[in-house]
Amino acid sequence: MANRYRPQDISSLPEKPIFFDANVIIYVFWPLGKTNWEQTYSSVFGNLLKHKKKMTLDVTVISEVINRTVRFEHENHLTANNLTKEVCSFKNYRDSQEGKDAIKDIYDILKLKILTSFQILGKAFSQADIEPLLSVDTIDFSDKVILTLCKENDCILLTNDKDFASSNIDILTSNPVLLRH
């Protein structure tokens, strides 16, 4: 049976790796000031460091983080310059000097702050591993990859994503929807 843990449980967590979902990485390293989750998960990150917990992620999470944060930067650029997506498409922004500078900043944060604090989990997925993930249900493909990695590596997933509510893995969260399951 899967366990649900709250941030106040960090000191008593079992000695399992903590796998960070993309939403938590973004809350901690790219706070947009739009929610209280940023402060909550920044505190969780600090407590995990304090208690010397093994923190992990994988290339799927890194890819999601890059793609989402570049899109945030595009939205910020549009707002700051009173532009529309028709005037400045995402691809045009990404190829502009401002877009390239934003991507470089994102990569620098990944290299200097994230990759230095996290262990990277990986798996060579075979056709037999991928086929079961190609089913239509309530969880997207990337999340299915994360579930597979967490199960195979006996990780506790740190997430705020309610899509994981019915997942049969241990979860550390502040999201009340996830804590009810």
Least Cα distance to 146 among 133, 134, 131 occurs for 133
Q: What is the pLDDT of residue 180?
A: 87
Q: What is the pLDDT of residue 32?
A: 80
* 7 within 8 A of 140, measured Cβ to Cβ: no
Domain ranges of the chain: 4-179
Q: What is the pLDDT of residue 100?
A: 97
Q: What is the pLDDT of residue 129?
A: 93
Regarding pTM above 0.75, the answer is yes
Which residues, other chains included, contact 166 with Cβ-Cβ below 8 Å and sequence gap of 6+?
A: 138, 181
Tokens at 6, concatenated: 């709250």
Q: What is the pLDDT of residue 157?
A: 98
| 65-112 pLDDT, tens digit each | 999 999 999 999 999 999 999 999 999 999 999 999 999 999 999 999
Q: What is the pLDDT of residue 122?
A: 87
Q: What is the pLDDT of residue 3?
A: 95
Which strand (E) or helix (H) includes residue 172?
A: strand 171-172
Q: What is the pLDDT of residue 138?
A: 86
Within 10 angstroms of residue 105's Cβ, the number of other Cβ atoms is 13
Q: What is the pLDDT of residue 148?
A: 96
Tokens at 133, concatenated: 């993930």
d(CA 140, CA 144): 6
Mark the ranges of the chain whose per-residue pLDDT is less than 50.
none
Q: What is the pLDDT of residue 156?
A: 98
Partners of 55 in the β-ladder: 18
Query: Please, what CATH class does the domain formed by 4-179 belong to?
Result: alpha beta
Q: What is the pLDDT of residue 35?
A: 80
Q: What is the pLDDT of residue 137?
A: 87
